[in-house]
Structure 1
């Protein structure tokens, strides 16, 4: 599969997953997931860092969801208890079940967005440590490539192709982390960085001669 098609495939998978997971979640589970993640941040980073992360996540949520009118859009389309009761008298419980499912989806979708803003802040906290590590992995891969070039003189195109596809997958790991609708430890971020650094090293080490 070409790299461009590979990227589009992962993009489609992620978009479908992000917008479909609220269907299979309950409002309570969404709230519990957010609270569990906040508790994890508090226990692992302390109160001061926790408060700063929450404040920044709230600001980002405000900018993306509330200020853009999306929150109001969802609120206007949520079915109230009175509306459900009135419709049940006319159409029976089938419409009530539909409206309940719709409300649940909207609540869960907003919870996913808040979870995304929270994890963006966690990524930013780790960024000063992750960037030097990834640059070091890239530099080490380049040095290894130069040594290999001077001693062997050629590179395997199959190894480069396989490693480039691997890099695409690992590059999408942070995006998957942002949208995964389950509570996850903040320490998943450095773990993903280590995996991505390994992939970057392999790709650069096996890069073809057109780099020279």
Structure 2
């Protein structure tokens, strides 16, 4: 578990570095527009508007109303008063500060987009939660049938299922942080694979 957590932490760190220095702002913007278009087509305009409004309210309360977003710009970019007090050095570093301003805006857009993806995942949770529960029960009953009929469970399948569940558990972090477009079917597919992995695990338990 710690090894997987370390791997995902490294992925998040390199993702941060790549966005800061190697990925153009326009490219991320284009991918965001593409994903929004695909999501609207997949779940409908009304459902997307609901998710977007819900995300905006949460984002505004958490970062705009608290002053965190504004403070992030003040932390790295001098204000007009600070520039005026600099005298002849007022325009020194202007290209650098412009670049920093664009990157900070891009990061806040990615944070907003990550929150939107989180709400998108929650949108499908009530739909697929019964499927996951049913898959778990089916797995346990399959295990009981194996006990009654003296069939053997598979340690190999149990290991695959356990590793799959651990891997799938961290996949949403990748989903929230990934800066490029992801097809909206990704979330339903994740729920389906998670449910099937739980079923496989339950049906091959060595002890009950």
Task: Tell me, yes or no, whether TM beats 0.5.
Answer: yes
Residue 73 of structure 2 contacts residue 101 of structure 2 at CA under 8 Å; is this kept in 1? no
Normalising by structure 1, what TM-score? Answer: 0.79
| Structure 1: 5+ residue stretches without partners | none
Residue 137 of structure 1 contacts residue 197 of structure 1 at CA under 8 Å; is this kept in 2? yes
Q: Residue 158 of structure 2 aligns with which residue?
A: 160
Q: CA RMSD in A?
A: 2.8
CA displacement 1:91-128 (0-9 Å, x = unmatched)? xxxx5664454334322211210111111221122112
Q: Residue 36 of structure 1 aligns with which residue?
A: 34
Q: Measure the CA separation in 1 of the matches of 2:39 and 2:158.
A: 39
Q: Measure the CA separation in 2 of the matches of 1:141 and 1:157.
A: 15
Q: Residue 103 of structure 1 aligns with which residue?
A: 101
Q: Residue 73 of structure 2 aligns with which residue?
A: 75
C-alpha spacing 1:81/1:15, structure 2 compared with 1 (3 Å): same
C-alpha spacing 1:32/1:151, structure 2 compared with 1 (3 Å): same
Residue-pair matches, total: 201
Q: Residue 12 of structure 2 aligns with which residue?
A: 15
Q: Measure the CA separation in 2 of the matches of 1:37 and 1:71.
A: 24
Q: Measure the CA separation in 1 of the matches of 2:7 and 2:133.
A: 25
Is 1:200 aligned to 2:198, yes or no? yes
Measured after TM superposition, the shift of residue 132 of structure 1 is: 0.9
Residue 116 of structure 1 contacts residue 179 of structure 1 at CA under 8 Å; is this kept in 2? yes
Normalising by structure 2, what TM-score? Answer: 0.80
